Amino acid sequence: MVILDACYLFFSKPIYEKQYISIQRVALQIKPVGALIAYIAMAVGLWYFVLKTPKTNVYLEAMILAFVVFGTYNATSYALLKKFRPELAAMDTVWGILMFTTASYLYLTFVK
């Protein structure tokens, strides 16, 4: 999941930097401990709710979980932050759905 997200963030970095500079007025600075906790939480959630006992609709479940996680974060950011763009909220939510679904596929194909 971290590798998938790193690739996405590498290519979309200018979009996120512009967004966060407009909100914070300083360049985006990643806090490694916070990022680590977020990735652990996402991986645990995906494993526990979707991959631990996979059903026939595992990819749909991964998509729904990602929609809940990323949709909540992005909708809250949009609701609270005056300059948070709805396009970025939508783009990030769609990315989360793709990332969780791809991570599920990779886990079930190569690990399980």
Query: What does the DSSP assignment read for 6-45?
Result: HHHHHHHHHHHHHHHHHHHSS-----HHHHHHHHHHHHHH
Nearest to 83 by CA among 34, 23, 40: 23
Return the closest-CA partner of residue 7 out of 102, 78, 93, 71.
102
pLDDT in tens, 18-72: 999 999 999 888 999 999 999 999 999 999 999 999 889 999 999 999 999 999 9
Distance in angstroms (rounded) separating the CA atoms of residues 103 and 79: 29
Q: Closest Cα to residue 5, out of 92, 82, 109, 108? A: 92
Q: What is the pLDDT of residues 63-97, one digit of tens each?
A: 999 999 999 999 999 999 999 999 999 999 999 99
